[in-house]
Amino acid sequence: MNYEYKPSFERMFKELEPGAKIRAVNAIFSLIDFFETGQRTVGLGLKQLRGDFWEIRVDLKIRVLFVFESDTVSFIVVGTHDDISKFLRRS
């Protein structure tokens, strides 16, 4: 499986606080480990939102939105529930 970060993700990632950045990277690595090994990390909070859109939990406030596109996982948004809801309404 391939992984990519969309410009929207990169832009929002830069705005996160340093601690949230570390937690986001750790959550993404846990997701990749899950895809590679099949073992889900406790607290990952993997959840299907709509169609091919999924989210994982970074912490109580921050989530990562991603989508499956063929054999690629594309990370689209990192932000609050509101950020993800706004993105999904526009999509």
- DSSP string of the chain? -EEEE-HHHHHHHHHS-HHHHHHHHHHHHHHHHHHHH--PPTT---EEEETTEEEEESSSS-EEEEEEETTEEEEEEEE-HHHHHHHHHH-
2-90 folds as YaeB-like fold (3.30.2310)
How far is Cα 77 from Cα 44, in angstroms, rounded to an integer? 16
pLDDT band at 40 (very low <50, low <70, confident <90, very high): confident
pLDDT of residue 9: 98
Give the domain ranges of the chain.
2-90
Residue range 8-32: mean pLDDT, rounded: 97
Instruction: Evaluate if residue 2 carries a pLDDT over 90.
Output: yes
pTM for this prediction: 0.92
Residue 49 has pLDDT above 90, yes or no: yes
